[in-house]
A = this chain, B = another copy of it.
Amino acid sequence: MAKSKSLEACPVYKTAMILDGKWTILIFRDLLANKVVRFNELRRSLGSISPKTLTERLTELEDQGLVSRKVYAEVPPRVEYSLTEKGKGLSAVFDSMAKFGDKWLR
């Protein structure tokens, strides 16, 4: 979903832009289910995502304040991802989507 000018005012549209991307909702799903996840852990649970794409999505989500990234100064490196309060705010959206899906899709 590419950006559309003139709609940056619509809260529904802005929320939709957050959820855009082939893997985004799956990342949220994992982060909602597990409080804290590491990079390769997330990568494995998503299945076939490339590291480039995962990094891109996570960086975007972090820049939007939806995901927090904690780096531990260890060897080997450890990085943990989790949802911020803002990110957790999306759970209501997911709930309503689940309800719709359960009722109308298959």
Taking Cβ atoms with an 8 Å cutoff, the residues of A that contact B are 1-2, 4, 6-7, 10-16, 18-23, 25-26, 29, 47-48, 86, 89-90, 92-106
Contact = CB atoms under 8 A, between A and B. Distances in A.
A20 B6 contact: no
A88 to B, nearest CB: 10
Among A6, A95, A99, find the residue whose CB has the most chain B CB atoms closer than 10 A.
A99
Nearest to A85: B104
A34 to B, nearest CB: 16
Given A4-B22, A21-B1, A22-B1, A15 B47 contact: no
Secondary structure of the A contact surface, majority rule:
helix
B92 A12 contact: no
A28 to B, nearest CB: 9
A98 B25 contact: no
Contacts of A1: 1, 20-22
B92 A15 contact: no
B86 A92 contact: no
A38 B74 CA distance: 61
